[in-house]
């Protein structure tokens, strides 16, 4: 049997912060990467997540993660406001306040910056392209196009096709499944 020929080594579904960062690291390692995203431009319409921890806060929260400044890059032009405190009101109604060094982002500018980093590293992007399903090593787009890859990364968030098709139960443990 002949080995299967793939269009790409890696396909990343979703070009948001996680997908663009995965694509950048893979491309920097010499991997042929295609990112497929249904939005044009990536980052619109805004989904969520304008408040993010600063790199100093991330180092405090995750001291064992190496190269934090390389992993989490945020240009000054994408920072709308700096925050030193977090205020939450849980269902109990009792407000919680605690120290939290973070940024309120212009998410569109931030996402565009991460896409450009990935492109400069060699990743290719196909935007305005919706994934219908993933079967084995094949990504099927709604327009009928198909792409194959050795590795397929679903960075499409809560509506990602692999999550939708393979972990469709309503479970609060879904994020754990992504980490494992």
Q: What is the pLDDT of residues 47-84, one digit of tens each?
A: 776 888 999 999 999 999 999 899 889 999 999 999 99
Q: Domain check: are 177 and 136 in the same one?
A: yes
Within-domain flag for 79: yes
Quote the strand ranges of 3-158, DSSP E. Answer: 8-13, 33-36, 51-53, 79-88, 96-105, 124-126, 131-135, 138-141, 146-154
Q: Domain check: are 56 and 38 in the same one?
A: no
- Do 162 and 154 meet the contact criterion of CB atoms below 8 Å apart? yes
Asked if residue 178 has pLDDT above 50, the reply is no
Within-domain flag for 112: no
Q: Domain check: are 101 and 61 in the same one?
A: yes
Q: Domain check: are 58 and 101 in the same one?
A: yes
Predicted local confidence at residue 177, as pLDDT: 41
Polymer length in residues for the chain:
180
Q: DSSP secondary-structure letter at 40?
A: S
CATH number for 164 = 3.50.50.60
Find the domain containing 133 and state its range.
1-45+121-180
Asked if residue 145 has pLDDT above 80, the reply is yes
Query: In this prediction, what percent of the chain has a pLDDT beyond 90?
Result: 64
Q: Domain check: are 94 and 179 in the same one?
A: no
Position of tokens 């792409």?
Answer: 147
Q: Enter the tokens of residue 115.
A: 């896409």
Q: How confident is the model over 16-28, as pLDDT tens digits?
A: 999 999 999 999 9
Position of tokens 């450009």?
Answer: 116
Within-domain flag for 33: yes
Q: Domain check: are 32 and 11 in the same one?
A: yes
* Domains: count for the chain: 2
Asked if residue 171 has pLDDT above 80, the reply is no
Q: Domain check: are 126 and 179 in the same one?
A: yes
Q: Domain check: are 28 and 69 in the same one?
A: no
């Amino acid at each position: 049997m002949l080995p299967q020929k793939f269009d790409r080594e890696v396909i990343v579904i979703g070009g948001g912060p996680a997908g663009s960062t995965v694509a950048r690291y893979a491309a920097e390692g010499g991997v042929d990467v295609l990112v497929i995203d249904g939005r044009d431009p990536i980052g619109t319409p805004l989904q969520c997540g304008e408040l993010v921890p600063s790199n100093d806060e991330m180092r405090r929260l995750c001291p064992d993660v190496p190269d934090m400044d390389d992993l989490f890059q945020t240009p000054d032009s994408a920072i709308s406001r700096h925050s030193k405190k977090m205020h939450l009101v849980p269902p109990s109604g009792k407000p919680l306040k605690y120290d939290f060094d973070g940024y309120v982002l212009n998410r569109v500018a931030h996402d565009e910056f991460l896409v450009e980093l990935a492109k400069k590293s060699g990743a290719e992007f196909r935007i305005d392209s919706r994934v219908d399903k993933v079967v084995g090593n094949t990504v099927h787009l709604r327009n009928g196009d198909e792409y194959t890859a050795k590795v397929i990364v679903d960075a499409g968030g809560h509506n990602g096709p692999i999550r939708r098709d393979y972990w469709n139960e309503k479970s609060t443990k879904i994020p754990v499944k992504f980490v494992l």
